[in-house]
Amino acid sequence: MRKIKIFDTTLRDGEQSPGASMSVEEKVEIALILEALGVDFIEAGFPVSSPTQFEGVKKVAQAVKKPTVVALARCVEKDIDAAYEALKNIKNRKIHVFIATSPLHRKYKLKMEKEEILKRVEKYIGYAKRYSEEVEFSPEDASRTEIPFLIDVVKTAIKAGATTINIPDTVGYSLPEEFGNIVKTIKESVPGIENVDLSVHCHNDLGLALINSIFAIKNGADQVEVTLNGIGERAGNCALEEFVMALKVRKDLLDFETGIKTELIYPASRLLIHITGLIPSKNKPIIGENVFLHESGIHQDGVLKMRETYEIMKPEDIGRSSESLILGRHSGRHAVKKKLESYSVKLDDEKFQRVFERFLKLADKKKEVFDDDLISIVSDVLKEPIYGYKLVHFHVHTGNVLLPTAAVKLKFKGEEFEAAETGNGPVDAIFRAVDKITRLKTKLYEYIIQAVGSGKNAQGEVKLILEIEKQFSSGRGISTDIIEASAIAYINAINKYLITKNGLLKK
């Protein structure tokens, strides 16, 4: 079986999903579980784009040992310099440079002729080679680039020293046979292509990212670029879990393998959901809530008699089992730590102590603490700001014949502030009181509530997105009190905006 390399871009392209931005600590935790999964490459970010991106790439590079860490750069010296500075202290590094090549991008975005683009490809791959032996090159919007020019670009890139050529379907435009033919043509027409890795990066705008990636490897691609849960720009990227499980389930027709430990797919997916707040649909392939549920009597009867009648994979194949009680108020530090280790979650002593203290408080309230509860606590601790507003306490007065009123006390830079406001409901009243203290003009763009765990005493998780001064900022809060969870999520979104605005980093 031919080995297909897995290039994970959850921390770069995935993070570009609206509301999916991560702190440095959150990036590191996702990188660690990606390492445990067995991905070959982790694209950790776009270092030149912001101080937080630079620090995130640097910290990920320091945290992981096995995968090659990749930093993205345009064909611009300052981008490549920043990529190198973020990666310079590790050996397993790769700089990923790109420039657009399609007629649309050449004319309207770059305002460049073909010859100028070829010169930039040659110049800046050469420049990146000064810093890194491993250089990946992407002709952006390759699937809408004329084949003869695309071949010229790829030839130039290989001659300049690129070790990986990536063919991106940047806007998810290609159909499967068409994309497979692009890969096949490059494989057959470019001298030296056998000496480099040929990669593909497919977007899901037409729902074809997975099948395009499969057609690509069938036509000679060596590497596929993916994200956990398929997150990414617009409709997202090819989902890691879908690609890997398609190869595993249909190995009768797909003679390929990856190094992915599939039993860690579901835990990794859940951690990403809690960190980003991006909730996949219930019928999302592989990791959706409904994938292993059967309501139809005919289906239930078939599954009871022979599971394979209606299920093509086992829940345990992806590390998914029926929710089971794992811990309670009498569970000790060792039990909690072992459970986190089973999910490849690695925390320093200070963060673990905070997680354990939160766990004990929750165990007192709920008595039964499930895996999802514990993962949510981890993601909550990772989101705790070192800068910004902190909720001291709140009080709401509400009812179906009363005007909802909220009083809120926040702490900022050691000073406490109080405000009271009315609203259309208790949550709206709290949000208005917070706005009165922060003096920010906010617009609630998205507000989602879901249960964590099961039963009447399940925690409530709130994920929201605010628009503040034409910028989107996401927040997440979790509590057994849904109003408190809403307040925490709202304040987290404001703090994230302030950190971005003021250029502050979480260390």
Q: Are residues 411 and 370 in the same domain?
A: no
Is residue 347 domain-resident? Answer: yes
Alpha-carbon span 36 to 441, nearest angstrom:
42
On whether both 32 and 121 belong to a single domain, the answer is yes
In a domain, 248, yes or no: yes
Q: At 349, which helix (H) or strand (E)?
A: helix 349-366
Tell me if residue 477 falls in helix, strand or coil.
strand
Rg (CA), the chain: 24
Domain finish residue from 220, 243, 276 = 276
Q: Is residue 297 part of a domain?
A: no
Residues 141 and 35 placed together within one structural domain of the fold? yes
Helix (H) or strand (E) holding 354: helix 349-366
Contact 263, 241 (CB under 8 A): no
Bridge-based pairing state of the strands 41-45 and 5-8: parallel
* Among 363, 383, 403, residue at a domain's last position: 383
Q: Where are the alpha helices (DSSP H) in 227-370?
A: 240-249, 265-276, 297-305, 333-342, 349-366
Residue 269 sits in a domain of what CATH number?
3.20.20.70
pLDDT per residue, tens digit, the chain (507 aa), is 899 999 999 999 999 887 788 889 889 999 999 999 999 999 999 999 999 899 999 999 999 999 999 999 999 999 999 999 999 999 999 999 999 999 999 999 999 999 999 999 999 999 999 999 999 999 999 999 999 999 999 999 999 999 999 999 999 999 999 999 999 999 999 999 999 999 999 999 999 999 999 999 999 999 999 999 999 999 999 999 999 999 999 999 999 999 999 999 999 998 998 888 788 898 999 999 888 765 555 555 554 566 667 678 888 899 886 444 456 666 778 888 888 887 778 888 998 998 898 888 888 877 678 777 888 888 778 866 667 899 999 999 999 889 999 999 999 988 999 999 999 999 999 999 999 999 999 999 999 998 886 666 778 889 899 999 888 888 888 888 999 999 999 998 998 888 777 765 443
Residues 427 and 369 in one domain: no
Same domain, 402 and 255: no
Q: Is residue 135 part of a domain?
A: yes
- Per the domain annotation, does 196 fall within a domain? yes
Give 2's strand partners: 256
Residues 113 and 134 in one domain: yes
What's the domain count of the chain? 3
User: Which CATH number is 418's domain given?
Assistant: 3.30.160.270
Contact (Cβ atoms closer than 8 angstroms) between residue 13 and residue 140: no
Task: Show the domain range for 350.
Answer: 323-383
Domain boundary among 210, 241, 276: 276
Residues 181, 2, 151, 239: what is their CA dihedral angle, to the nearest 10 degrees?
70
